[in-house]
Structure 1
Amino acid sequence: MTALAASALLVPAAARADVSEAELTLGFDRLAADRVVKISLSVTSASAVTNVTAHLRYLSSTAEPYATLQLTRTQGTDDDGVWEAEYRPDIAARPGVSVVDTVITTADGATTTRRAGFVDCYTTTIEGLAGSPSVVDADHPDTTLRGRLMVRRSRDEAAEPAAGAAVSAADAKATTGADGSFALNVRGAPTVDASAQGPLCSTEQKAPVTVAMQATEISARLTPGSTVAPYTQMSVDGKVLRHGSAGLAPAAGVTVALDLSSGLADRSPLQVRTAADGTFHAFFTAARDVGVSGTVAVEAQGGGFLTGSKTSLGTMNIRNTATIDDFVLLGRPLAYGEAIVADGTLVVRPDFTNVTNLPVYLEYSRDGKTGWTIWARQTLDRPKAFYFNTTKPVTQDGYWRFRYPGGPRNTAAVSPVKYIDVKYRTQMYDFNASPEPVKKGKTITVKGLLYRFMDKAVPGPNAPVSIYFKPSGSSKWSQVATVKTASSGWFSKTFKADKDGTWMASYNGSANYFASDKPSDYVDVR
């Protein structure tokens, strides 16, 4: 076996030499019987090379030299030649790394240094490495690795056991026995490593164990939602499961990473690991720039006993948050044919971009769930309070709301829904209490006509009308009768004249009709 080392490293010298090229190589056959290091330096210079000296140092380039060699030119000329020397290192005294510095002196008195190194050690191998069991998975991850560490000192000698040497695999460690044997209890199929130690070279071998990989699946949710304001604290919560030998099982200790489109996060989110039950919680801060959209995905990274998996959480949008506050509807219930008067306030936060030209709609629906239609609209120059004083007549009950449709930088906003009950107006006509004056004990007739104002004024049939009387000198009204209007809208009721006073009639309204006015008439009883 041959080990070569080459270097073009220029080590600072006392003065600048005229060396244009210098290459140092070291030849060292660890299995050769003589174990000689062959030093070879090729040099090209503008003036003659007058001397080449090699200094050998142990373990460190700053250690004191343990040997100094004079190199002899074996080829070429002093201007362009090859200088060589040989050295047999003492492996018992100095096993491991040695540094060789060659100092080139030229005719101008300047020096140039080239550096290389070699490792003096005996070749080692791992023989008979086997795992029991030879197949592992996430449910049965443990195996025992057994083998022998052997050392060979020369090509002419057979390998022999390397006793008392350190061997490791992952976190497991062992010391070889007299026959070089070792046993390591490990998980999975790690590499068995015997590091360089004393006169032994390092060696390694992959464990001959098959890992039966199990597939994973990942589920997750993004909160608080897919459309959020700048700097919103985002959470991704989910679970990773593996397809184990007995079915789906939690995948513990799996690294989970978030895969976000550029511009979505204020900074790159950290990776997290699943808990014992397979759950995980990851988080990040939404970026500042509104109008940015991109995809969010979660990846369970593979490795060990599990394959990776990935799931998409859809598109995330960074927008200003719009709300409609202070929604007020005036005139409830509303008289048939009157117009809607409403006001509210459009608020946009944080609005770093000072948005303008914001459309706001007043909308109507019969059931408050479907069939929303635009009743009136206006455009605001900035988020602010607004006022709707419409002229279109309202002729039926229904639900009302304000809506801002949103835009590239803002979320949409809808106000709370409010109900307006639309009723028909009513009014009394030709109300009269007669005769007047009247003799005590005679009959007084109280009558009138009730009208309902729909698309046009029509009599109000079969409506209950309350009749009240207030004696002269009193402030208290007393209900004395209730009558129903005829199909013509007229009502009439007779009373026995007893005392002076005022008569009044009132229709008190219903689910579909407003109460009427309350006309009155004074009767003098004599």
Structure 2
Amino acid sequence: MGTTALAVFASTLITAPAAQAADVRLKSRTSTQEKDGKIHAVYESYDDHVRPEDVSIRIRKKGGDQILDTVRIADRCAPESDCWDMEFLSEPVTLPEMGVYTMDVVVREGQADELVHRDNGELTYGLAPRLTVTSDRQWISYDNHLITVSGTLVAKDPNTHEVKPFAGAGLYHRATPGGGGWLWTNDEGRFTDTLHFFEDSTDTRHEYSFRSERETLTLPFRKQELKLKVDAPLGTVNAPYGSEVPMRGKLTRIADDGTEKPVLRHGITIGGKNILPTRKDGTFSGRYTVKQAGTVKIAPSEWGWFNTTAHSFEVAKAPRTSKFTSLKASADKDRKVTFTGKLGVTEGSYPAGTTALVAMEHSTDNKTWSNVGTFTAKYGATFTQSPAKKASTSSYWRLRHTGADLSSTSFKLGRKTTQLVDDDLTPEGVRKGKTLTAKGSLIQKSGSSWKSFSGQTVRIYFKASTKGATWKKLGTTKTLSNGTFSKKFTAQQDGTWQIRYVDTPSTHYADYGREDYIDVR
């Protein structure tokens, strides 16, 4: 609420009936001052139409209603003067014991337009306070970013002049740069404060004050030195374009106690781009993709706790020399596609452990390609890799070195599709010892039509319904000229049956029939 509004509010309250004082919130404030060995209340005037001679101050215990003392303002403001923003001292205060009390401001006490502002301020009833402040650290650093400040406040009892702990007193803490806040002493006159610092902190001044008493702590900011050890790569790197060379090292710091300690979870930049996090022991590892010749800088990410350090290596001008060798691709009877081969170079060399990211690609027309999986290939080592995508009747497959945009020759893979149809075990319910018949047909796709597939071996499997049972092959049969087959068995126990075509030529895919449960009575 603004000044004008409060003035109008106070003027309105002056007309309140004499029967009861009006409780208000005044802008004027009260505090404590010691003068000539006495404690006084200080009245700071900020309310229109209220003069210091109209003001008295009641003093109570915190949380209680009993008035222990009432004092008037001893200082005066000239009748013709504006008393705004002026301080006035009260008569000396007399209380039964040292402590912290609350003050009510009373305007025109006992008159019809009396105003009362309860709990307007605190009176600290104690003489010659002495404040001491210490900290458990003398500077700010990575090892000292949490600092505990401890302090004590004592004063003389105004009645006995005995020096005692000043309990419940409020102290103001101000940081430069920074903010501030209040702290309170405990029953022993003690207080603690925890200061939190961050990497962007600077030398900081902390002031703790009580009345006219002030204690200051100055905490300098100390950066620690970093040590970066790079194990690989070293010197000049000669590697194929797009390859990934191994990178290893360790980052440590010189701690406040002078010992060398690992720096964990700190980012290491490579060429200003890649970021590798350090582990608990300070080590880091990763890979650098060779794209151009020149100097590559390895450095810890800048962090305010530390002074920076760096390492560099040279990349030699390398031709695009990568190639796939001994590369083969196949699709098995279960439609699994497998690539085998090596990644090598046509000329030049590479550091031990150099790798490259390789994509497995699929196309239906040998023109438009899609990525169906990736893997990391180590130069000079044989790889065997399979994508999740299954083979179809006929499509194209290839590998691509993604870093160098190098593609292998394409492979046309595929087999003819087969299908078990009308596969069944009959009868569905049968008595033990009676005959069961496994039957059905096997067909193969030829172009857009399906034809019978004769002369093929079909297997019949059974899995008992008992716990832990596994599939067992019970017999085989051959398909006739029309592709049909049948095989008789003696019913022994409940279980599940399945007919499978897995003995395929290299030109055809396998097929698995449905699982058929038979209840044996």
User: Is the structural similarity TM-score above 0.5?
Assistant: no
TM normalised by structure 2 equals: 0.31
| TM-score normalised per structure 1 | 0.31
